[in-house]
Amino acid sequence: MRRILVTGGAGFIGSHLCKRLLDEGNEVVCLDNFSTGSRKNIQPLLAHPYFELLTHDIAVPLTLEADRIFHLASPASPVRYQHQPVMTVRTNVLGSLTALEIARATGATILQASTSEIYGDPEVHPQVESYWGNVNPIGPRSCYDEGKRCAETLFFDYRRQYGIKIKVARIFNTYGPLMAADDGRVVSNFIVQALRGDDITLYGDGSQTRSFCYVADMIDGLLRLMDTGPDFTGPVNLGDPHEATMRELAETILRLTGSRSHLAFKPLPKDDPKRRCPDITLAKKELGWRPTTSFEEGLTATIDHFRKLL
C-alpha cells in the first residue's frame, strides 16, 4: 500500500483519480482548499478507511509523508482562472514549490498536471512536446498559461538541482461525469445549455478546434506515466487526437440530448486558440497509452451526469 498525496483532489480530474487510487488499494490524502473543487465530488470517498481529506491551501507550505504525489491543484477553466488571476498564478507557482518541497523531503515521485495551454495559440499542428508554444505573457489567459509554464520550469530545475523524481503530463481538454455545471468548460457549457433549452453559445464562427479526452482515459494515462521508470520525465501529451470544431461539438450534443436549442454566435475572446490537438506519439511509445472511449460514448455518459445534476 502506497501513501499517495493528490493536491486538488476534490476537483473534477482529482476526484476521479482519488477513487481510482483507492480502488487499487492505496492510502490517499486528498488536499484541497475548495476554491474550485467540490465536496460533493469526494463525498462517496469520505467513509473509506484509507481516505484522508486535508483542507489546505497548497500555496502555504506544509509537511506530510507521501510515497507519490499527483500535483493537480489549480483552477482549470478559463472562467475560473481568470476570475482571480493573481490567485491562479500564486497557486501554480507557490503551490508547485510546496509540492516539490514535500517530494524533496520524502523522496516521493511527483507528477505535475500541466496543460495544453503551455502551447498557447499554436503555430505547430498537431502539437508535439518539443514545441515551445506561442503564448501571450500579458493577456487575460496568461495567469494560467504562464503559471503552468513556470511550474514546469520549477519541476525540471528541482530535478536538476536536487535530483527529485518528476513526471510532467500536458493535459488536453478532458470531460466526463463530475464536471460542474458552472465551471465554464465548453463541454459542460454546451450540455447544460442544451438540456435547459437555452441558446448554445459559440464564439467566432465556431470553426476553432479542440480535442476531447474522456476522464477515465485521462486517469489511465496519468497512472501509466507515474509508473514509468525514473529516466522518463516527460513532458508528455495526454489527450485524444480526435479533433472537432466547436460547431461540430455543439451539433453532436444537440443530437444526443434531443434539444431544440439554437446556436448563438458571439465575438471570439482574446487569445483564444484557433486549433488545439495533441500529437500522442510519445505517449503511445513510452506509456503504451491511447484513449479508448469514443467521443459519443463519453458524451452520452457526461450528458447522463448532467441530467441527474440538473
Grid cell 482549470 is found at: 76
- The number of angstroms, rounded, from the C-alpha of 199 to the middle of its chain's C-alpha atoms is 27
The one catalytic residue in 81, 119, 131, 144 is: 144
The secondary structure of 70-132 as a DSSP string is: EE--S--SHHHHHHSHHHHHHHHHHHHHHHHHHHHHHT-EEEEEEEGGGGBS-SSSSB-TT--
What's the CA gap between 183 and 166, in Å, rounded? 29
Q: Identify the three-state secondary structure at position 230.
A: coil
What's the CA gap between 191 and 49, in Å, rounded? 35
Q: Identify the three-state secondary structure at position 255.
A: helix
What's the CA gap between 110 and 305, in Å, rounded? 31
β-bridge mates for residue 213, sequence order? 174
What's the CA gap between 227 and 308, in Å, rounded? 35
What's the CA gap between 149 and 236, in Å, rounded? 14
Is pLDDT above 80 for 171?
A: yes
What's the CA gap between 179 and 174, in Å, rounded? 10
C-alpha triplet 236, 185, 15: angle, nearest 5°? 65
Is pLDDT above 90 for 82?
A: no
pLDDT value of residue 182: 85
What's the CA gap between 299 and 158, in Å, rounded? 39
Mean pLDDT over each residue of the chain, to the nearest integer:
95
Convert 93-110 to b/e letters by CB count within 10 Å (16 or more is b). bbbbbbbbbbbeebebbb
The reported pTM is 0.95
CA distances from 228 to 66, 122, 146, 170, 188 (A): 18, 28, 27, 16, 32
Q: Exposed, middle or buried, 292 (CB in 10 Å: 0-12/13-18/19+)?
A: exposed
Q: pLDDT tens for residues 15-30?
A: 999 999 999 999 999 9
Q: For residue 158, indicate whether it is catalytic.
A: no
Q: pLDDT tens for residues 209-238?
A: 999 999 999 999 999 999 999 999 999 999
How does DSSP classify residue 35? Answer: S
Go through the domains of the chain in sequence order and give each one's CATH number.
Answer: 3-175+213-239+277-284 (3.40.50.720)
What's the CA gap between 252 and 246, in Å, rounded? 10
What's the CA gap between 187 and 246, in Å, rounded? 9
What's the CA gap between 264 and 198, in Å, rounded? 10
β-bridge mates for residue 27, sequence order? 3
Work out the percent of the chain whose per-residue pLDDT is above 90: 88
pLDDT value of residue 184: 83
Neighbours of 198 (CB within 10 A): 14
Q: pLDDT tens for residues 253-262?
A: 999 999 999 9
Q: pLDDT tens for residues 123-159?
A: 999 999 999 999 999 999 999 999 999 999 999 999 9
